[in-house]
Amino acid sequence: MTHSAMKVVGGSYREICREPSRDEFYGSALRAAMAISRAADSLEVITIATPEEKSVIQTLANGVGFAVSTEQRAAQVIFTYSTPLSAPTLSLKDPPSTQSIYFLKDRSGEVWCGPCP
């Protein structure tokens, strides 16, 4: 059974794990899209990303077959784990020095970040 149209709203970020060694770009939005892509006739992912990340997301979307809408953020979000079961360390790659960044954790535990308005 497929659903005609679905939207996934969530984070997209780099995930680095030391043991076993992994360096991937997914986040909750892209993982969810991968999991449910066959259950929808039309799927759109809504997330925030840097211009470089947007290119990675678009390549994945083209391969899997979903649409992407992004809001721009200034710095890459990176979660680093010692193991898949350990708590992550959150960092920003190349944060802008002249712009404030906000972090928002929603009820599901998703962390959002972007430039302050």
Q: What is the CATH number of the domain that holds 53?
A: 3.40.1190.30
Which pLDDT value is given to residue 15? 92
Contact 41, 1 (CB under 8 A): no
Number of structural domains found in the chain: 1
pTM: 0.72
CA angle 91, 108, 30 (to 5 degrees): 65
- Report the C-alpha gap between 9 and 18 in whole angstroms: 28
Which pLDDT value is given to residue 45? 94
Which pLDDT value is given to residue 41? 87
Show the domain range for 103. 3-115
Which pLDDT value is given to residue 87? 86
Which pLDDT value is given to residue 115? 57
**Positions of the chain with pLDDT under 50:** 98
Which pLDDT value is given to residue 58? 94
**Do the strands 14-17 and 3-9 form a parallel or antiparallel pair, or are they unpaired?**
unpaired
- Report the C-alpha gap between 31 and 81 in whole angstroms: 17
